[in-house]
Chain A
């Protein structure tokens, strides 16, 4: 795939430690400071070129949760009405926090 075409791509692929791939909207992924830096840094990084990022420390369950959060956030960012609560299972809360810390979300 040609590099310039890929950066224009509307979607990015995030791969978890256990091999699951999440294809999510670029806008949503950009809500993470870390991913934004990865995808828009001036150097020609592989991630930016391919639009795919591998997270070796984040499990699929957690990454799914984080992706859900990005969409939740994108959807309700400018909402005027009351927004629903974003549910996090207690058993995943710590790991999600670690991922959120890392992803700057």
Chain B
């Protein structure tokens, strides 16, 4: 089941829903993102006046009959289990609501057997009736009033139409917003919202939970033994209602966090670079600044779109051997030519968004850049086969790295010229080349020195598994890096028959968006793969079919060597598999977004196991709370409930 198939399956239930869906809902359905491992259900606000009016609710339910499809959806989204648990013991529940819940259970079990027992308890609905089913869940938990609760909650599930008028619009966006704005987990033991900075971490004298004392605040003191109290215990001891107490807390926290970000003083270099970039038009020459600063200025003015033929001259220094221009849109062909005139010693040239480069310029480069060994062209829409052929012929043996992206004119003839004239190419990167198909892979197989091969986003269905297998079998033994990003049609044979036997030196493997790779395939690849010493970079982003075994096999094989791991979107994996990440002692960066089994415990294990961990990305991991354990100097990006940190976007 690939993402596409899944999307198709998704549409069947989406079509049952009446009324408009929000952009977010359709997006999530389209991406096959489901609610597999939702956040722990927040504590609901007390709903005092509801249960006594049972009869009235039932009457209202009758009125709501036409909107049957909506409760059905609710039931499905709750995965049936929690509401079923509520209804199971209830005698007072109406037959109507019972039947709804039962269908919910059946659907759920057909669709998804992999939920752990733990999940059964925590399941909460994603959308339409978040509030009502929240009620369901807690009522179910309080066994004393189980039957009454079930009746009122099932009734309240159908009562949401009248309710929503008084409250907010009930699109999904609103509900997501609602979940975050609800100040959930008010009963959660850790209240350490701001673990970094000058805050202090203490242990509560009553509940022994760790909590954070914000800078400039004094925590409450326990009357009994004089110890410090965490905010939760403070709240409960003061006998105040939980919900009203939560509101005033929220604002200052956000503000303080924002201030903390801003308070990091930028370096003087960055301040100057910013200033210079702002008035780049008035600069006559840079003088003696470091290459790093120059590159930073170049990046900033590229973003401002003020890199043009005039400002380009500032970056051209005859001593330079590397030049990287991040946005050449405004640079004319003449300007691009001047690069070769002013920097004849260039070894490496990288031109991004170089739509204006034409055959004339490329010929000029071929003739005048006598040391060129690395060329990178992004978006050269005007260049023709002729110019490429001449370039490869002239540069010949010198060429070591060639990168080409977003070109619809680079054809197999050019590629053949590259492979014939430049046998020493070690790094080849071809991305978004519209003409790429199976035939392209044959000449690439002749590049015996290839160490890094990146084939990115070919046109769909143009590359077949068989030809990719023969390519990797031919060049695999030398490869240190292999990227097959967006080669969506490739199947397991690439992993099992090509990569496993051939790629003994492989260190970096990128299989992003390869949706047809199965758990078995990945497991077979990594299991007892003794010929390979371990990978340092693995990207499995959006390989949505992969389950526990795949991740476990990967960590078992490459645990000691992995530095960068991306398992974004693998939401089938459970906590058990995520805990095996503790084998990755050298991990530096981890992207576990949308792996919704990720929680504080996994993070704690990870932080302990990987002392060098710098950055963890956790978008959409609802179980990870603000108080998850992190180390100083480590970045956690995308936690729910955190402020949105614009620096990472």
Residues in B with CB closer than 8 Å to A105 are 267-269
Return chain A residues, CB-CB under 8 Å to B216: 80
Q: Determine if B276 and A97 form an interchain contact, defined as CB atoms under 8 angstroms apart.
A: yes
Report whether B272 and A96 are in contact in the complex, using a CB–CB cutoff of 8 Å: yes
Is B46 located at the chain interface by the 8 A CB criterion? no
* CA A96 to CA B259, docked complex, whole Å: 27
B281-289, B487-495, B511-519, B536-544: which lies at the A interface? Answer: B281-289
Q: Is the CB of B263 within 8 A of A94?
A: no
| Residue of A72, A73, A95, A100 contacting most chain B CB atoms (<10 Å) | A100
B527 CB, nearest partner CB in chain A, Å: 48
Tell yes or no: A4 within 8 A of B by CB: no
Report if A78-B198 is in contact (Cβ < 8 Å); known contacts: A69-B268, A93-B272, A94-B286. Answer: yes
User: What B residues does A72 contact at CB under 8 A?
Assistant: 265
A3 within 8 Å of B (CB atoms)? no
B256 — which chain A residues lie within 8 A by C-beta? Answer: 80
Given contacts A78-B198, A100-B268, A101-B269, contact A83 B263 (CB under 8 A): yes
Looking at the assembled complex, report how far the CB atom of B354 sits from the nearest CB atom of chain A, in whole angstroms. Answer: 28
Choose among A80, A83, A88, A101 the residue that contacts B271 (Cβ–Cβ < 8 A). A88
Q: Check if B187 is an interface residue, CB within 8 A of chain A.
A: no
A98, B259: Cβ atoms closer than 8 Å: no
A78 lies within 8 A of B263 (CB)? yes
Question: Which chain B residues (254-275) contact chain A, with CB distance < 8 Å?
Answer: 256, 259-260, 262-263, 265, 267-269, 271-273, 275
Tell me, yes or no, whether A39 is within 8 Å of chain B by CB.
no
Contact indicator A76/B271 (Cβ below 8 Å): no
The smallest C-beta distance from A93 to any residue of chain B, in angstroms, reads: 4
Q: Would B269 and A97 count as touching, CB distance under 8 A?
A: yes
Partner of B269, one of A77, A95, A100: A100
Q: How far is the CA of A78 from the CA of B199 in the complex (A)?
A: 11
CB neighbours (8 Å) of A79 from chain B are 263
**Which residues of chain A come closer than 8 Å to B269, judged between CB atoms?**
97, 100-101, 105
Q: Once bound together, how far apart are the Cα atoms of A83 and B261, in whole Å?
A: 11
* Residue-wise interface mask of B (284-303) relative to A, using a CB-CB cutoff of 8 A (1 in contact, 0 not): 00111110010000000000
Asked if B279 is an interface residue, CB under 8 A from chain A, the answer is: yes
Q: How large is the interface on A (under 10, 10 to 19, 20 to 34, 35 or more residues)?
A: 20 to 34
Q: Does A90 contact B (CB under 8 A)?
A: yes
A93/B276 in contact, CB under 8 A: yes
Bound CA–CA A101/B289 (angstroms) = 7
In the bound assembly, the distance between CA atoms of A88 and B198 in angstroms comes to 29
- Asked if residues A88 and B263 are in contact (CB atoms below 8 Å), the reply is no
State whether the Cβ of A63 lies closer than 8 Å to any Cβ in chain B.
Answer: no
Closest residue of A by beta carbon distance from B277: A93
- Are B290 and A101 in touch, CB under 8 angstroms? yes
Q: Decide: A80 and B276 in contact? CB cutoff 8 A.
A: no
- Residue B466 CB within 8 A of the other chain: no
Complex interface bits, A42-86 against B, C-beta within 8 A gives 1, otherwise 0: 000000000000000000000000100100110011111111001
CA of A105 to CA of B267 in the docked complex: distance in angstroms?
A: 6
Known interface pairs A76-B265, A88-B272, A96-B268; A82-B259 also in contact (CB < 8 Å): yes
Alpha-carbon separation in the docked complex, A78 to B216 (Å): 12
Known: A88-B271, A88-B275, A105-B268. A80 touches B288 (CB 8 A): no
**Any A CB within 8 A of the CB of B215:** yes
Report Cα–Cα, A101/B273, bound state, in Å. 11
- The residue from B198, B215, B262, B271 contacting A82, defined by CB atoms under 8 A apart: B262
Nearest B residue to A68 by beta-carbon distance?
B268
Nearest chain A residue, comparing its CB with the CB of B288: A98
Contacts of B259 in A (CB 8 A): 80-82
How far does the Cβ of B266 sit from chain A's closest Cβ, in whole Å? 8
- In the complex, what residue of chain A is closest to B278 when comparing beta carbons? A90
CB of A81 within 8 A of CB of B265, answer: no
- In the complex formed, the residue of A with least CB distance to B285 is A94
Taken together as a complex, chains A and B put the C-alpha atoms of A95 and B286 apart, in Å, by 9
Among A76, A82, A86, A94: residue with most chain B CB under 10 A: A94
Residue of A66, A72, A78 with highest tally of chain B CB at under 10 A: A78
Nearest B residue (CB) for A32: B268
**Inside 8 A of B283's CB, which chain A residues have their CB?**
94
A98 and B275 form a contact (CB under 8 A): no
How far does the alpha carbon of A88 sit from the alpha carbon of B272 in the complex, in Å? 7
On whether A86 and B263 interact (CB within 8 A), knowing A94-B286, A97-B289, the answer reads no
Interface centre among B216, B265, B282 (most CB of A within 10 A): B265
Contact partners of A69 in chain B: CB under 8 A: 268, 271
Q: Can you name the residue of chain B whose Cβ is closest to the Cβ of A88?
A: B275
Q: Is A94's CB under 8 angstroms from B279's CB?
A: no
* Contact of A83 with B272 in the complex, beta carbons under 8 Å: no
Docked Cα-Cα span, A83 to B289, in Å, equals 28
Evaluate contact between A101 and B263: CB separation under 8 angstroms.
Answer: no
Q: Which residues of B lie under 8 Å from residue A80 when comparing CB positions? A: 197-198, 215-216, 256, 259-260, 263
A80→B215 CA distance, assembly (Å): 8
Q: By the criterion CB–CB under 8 Å, are A94 and B289 in contact?
A: yes
Complex: how many Å from CA A86 to CA B216?
25
Nearest chain A CB to B599's CB is how many angstroms away? 30
Assembly CA distance A41 to B289 (angstroms): 26
B379 smallest CB distance to A (angstroms): 31
Q: Which residue of A lies closest to B214 (CB)?
A: A80
Of residues B272, B278, B283, B288, which shows the largest number of chain A Cβ atoms within 10 Å of its Cβ? B272
CA distance A73 to B269 in the complex (A): 13
Query: Measured between C-beta atoms, what is the minimum distance from A62 to chain B in Å?
Result: 10
- Cross-chain contact A97 with B263 (CB below 8 angstroms): no
Within 8 Å CB of B275, what residues of A? 88, 90, 93
A9–B562 Cα distance when bound, in Å, is 48
Question: Which residue of the partner chain A has the closest CB to B270?
Answer: A100
- Chain B residues with Cβ under 8 A from A98's Cβ? 287-289
11 residue pairs A–B, Cβ–Cβ below 8 Å: A69-B268, A73-B265, A77-B265, A80-B198, A80-B260, A82-B262, A86-B271, A90-B279, A94-B272, A95-B287, A105-B269
A79-B263, A94-B287 given; name 16 further pairs at CB < 8 Å. A66-B268, A69-B271, A76-B265, A78-B198, A78-B263, A80-B215, A80-B263, A81-B263, A86-B271, A88-B275, A90-B279, A93-B272, A97-B269, A98-B287, A98-B288, A101-B293
Q: Which residues of B contact A (CB under 8 A)?
A: 197-198, 215-216, 256, 259-260, 262-263, 265, 267-269, 271-273, 275-276, 278-279, 282-283, 286-290, 293
Nearest 9 A-B pairs (CB), nearest first? A97-B272, A100-B268, A93-B275, A105-B268, A100-B269, A73-B265, A101-B290, A69-B268, A79-B263
